[in-house]
Amino acid sequence: MTSACRHPAVMPPPEGDSPFWQLLALLAKEPDLGWLDWALRQRGAGTSREMAEDAAEPAEGATLRSRSEPPLGATFPPPQEDEAPPSGGAPPGQRSAAVADCPHCRSQANCHFGPRPLEALRSLEHSAHPRIWKMYGAALSRFVTFREESGGHSTWPIPRDQISGFLLASDLQNRSSPKILGDLAALSYLSRLFHFPDLLLDFVASRMAVAFNRRGDIQRRGWTPFSKGLVRCLVRVVNTVCTGFYDCILFRAAFILAFCAALRPQEMVAEDGASVDPALLCRSDFVLSEDSIDIEVRALGVGPERLVLHLVRSREPCMCPVLALSNYLQARPRREGPLFICSNGEPLTKAQFLAVLHAALRHLGLLPQQFGLHSFWLGAVITAVKRGFPEELILRLARWPDRGNPQ
């Protein structure tokens, strides 16, 4: 829901207040969660009453009652004079006293915490360690800052474009994958807490989470994703690190196609000269035309089923997959078998590919141990997500057969 109303400024949390109540104070500023403002004011009023009661002795024979409990026969503590519920709205008996109308609009603000939301919130505070609430509050604060800077509206449930934009902005700020995933988990928890959809069930957000998680795992193994700009630099230094004309043509095509088609290691090169993986792409898997390439690749987890990737001619000649493959096939020995072969006709091996790749990286002043064969596939998928490619295209590019967990 989207609310155009403006609730009164939320009372700042008392100095030294717990991270849980500081988090609620931040949430109470959201128009769709304005009922939290009322709950926080009731909490503040209850604290003031307790201090006043502590300063006075109860009359002799008076019946003592828990200060946290409302007067008998009432659902909530009596509202303050300046916070009396507005007249009108639903007839008495058709809604709980826990639900109040916003004084600036006719919409109903549902709290989802039953007839005693303040007591429910007090119990909820003890369900997690204060460090967790502090982490959730920091994640929410970062999201609100992003939303304001990007000109987004305060809307709950959080729209898909806002959550995906927040994740991408965090990535562009070079925040680590675990921290980005932590922010997504925090926002997802807060969304579910107020009966909104689980953000992790959103397809785009979940796929981005998978990409960030895998990127974190790959970075721990020393596999940093390639960007298009870095692949462009690799292609430009191939002539420097390769000794012969054929090798220059071979590795220029291999680098460009590995990135543009998101090729996996087993699709690019042979483990050694004696064994060939069934997934290794062959010359017959490529159909080249004047302006495009069709590539048949195997989808993961679905047996022999094949997917067709369609690549088109690029306006940038040095990164054009059609031009690179065309030039390579003109120089390649005319024989069937693996697509990438050496001048002697033997399949290009993993060791040979990495030798040239690492030499190019060192020439660019980069650490070779930070990159690997997976860097091409991972960089291509991350680039596609960042550019907002359609879901179907991302699935096809990543070889993910369905919306289930990629294998």
In this predicted structure, the answer to whether residue 327 has a pLDDT above a threshold of 60 is yes
For the segment 133-140, the average pLDDT, to the nearest whole number, is 92
Residue (of 253, 276, 257) closest to 347 by Cα position:
276
Report how far Cα 160 is from the mean position of its chain's Cα atoms: 10
Tens digit of each residue's pLDDT (9 = 90 or more) over 197-246: 888 777 777 777 777 666 655 555 556 889 999 999 999 999 999 989 99
Q: Which residue has the higher pLDDT, 338 or 213?
A: 338
Q: What is the pTM of this model?
A: 0.50
In this predicted structure, the answer to whether residue 76 has a pLDDT above a threshold of 60 is no
Least confident of 11-15, 229-233, 244-248, 343-347: 11-15
- pLDDT at residue 275, as a whole number: 67
Q: Which residue has the higher pLDDT, 212 or 24?
A: 24
State yes or no: cis peptide before 157, omega within 30 of 0: yes
Highest mean pLDDT among 94-98, 107-111, 210-214, 348-352: 348-352
Q: Which 3-state string (H, E, C) describes the chain?
A: CECCCCCCCCCCCCCCCCHHHHHHHHHCCCHHHCHHHHHHHHHHHHHHHHHHHHCCCCCCCCCCCCCCCCCCCCCCCCCCHHHCCCCCCCCCCCCCCCCEECCCCCCEECCCCCCCHHHHHHHHHCCCCHHHHHHHHHHHHHHHHHHHHCCCCCECCCCHHHHHHHHHHHHHCCCCHHHHHHHHHHHHHHHHHCCCCCHHHCHHHHHHHHHHHHHHHHHHCCCCCCCHHHHHHHHHCHHHHCCCHHHHHHHHHHHHHHHHCCCCHHHHCECCCCCCCCCCCEHHHEEECCCEEEEEEECCCCCCCEEEEEEECCCCHHHCHHHHHHHHHHHCCCCCCECCECCCCCECEHHHHHHHHHHHHHHCCCCHHHCCCHHHHHHHHHHHHHCCCCHHHHHHHHCCCCCCCCC
Q: Which residue has the tokens 């399949």?
A: 347
Can you give the residue ranges of every domain in the chain?
228-398
In this predicted structure, the answer to whether residue 99 has a pLDDT above a threshold of 50 is no
Least confident of 116-125, 175-184, 214-223: 214-223
- pLDDT at residue 140, as a whole number: 93
**How far is residue 56's CA from residue 95's CA, in Å, rounded to a whole number?**
37
Strand partners, 384: none
User: How does residue 256 score in pLDDT terms, banded at 50, 70 and 90?
Assistant: very high
Highest mean pLDDT among 117-126, 170-179, 188-197, 245-254: 245-254
What percentage of the chain exceeds 90 in pLDDT?
A: 30
Highest mean pLDDT among 116-120, 304-308, 311-315: 311-315
Highest mean pLDDT among 73-82, 84-93, 152-161, 308-317: 308-317
The answer to whether residues 282 and 275 touch, using CB atoms and an 8 Å cutoff, is no
- pLDDT at residue 204, as a whole number: 75
Contacts of 299 (CB under 8 A, 6+ apart): 305, 306, 307, 399, 400, 401
For the segment 385-391, the average pLDDT, to the nearest whole number, is 84
Q: Which CATH class is domain 228-398?
A: mainly alpha
**Average model confidence (pLDDT) for the chain?**
76
Token reading at 299? 């989808």
User: How does residue 92 score in pLDDT terms, banded at 50, 70 and 90?
Assistant: very low
User: How does residue 38 score in pLDDT terms, banded at 50, 70 and 90?
Assistant: confident
- pLDDT at residue 325, as a whole number: 96
For the segment 382-400, the average pLDDT, to the nearest whole number, is 83
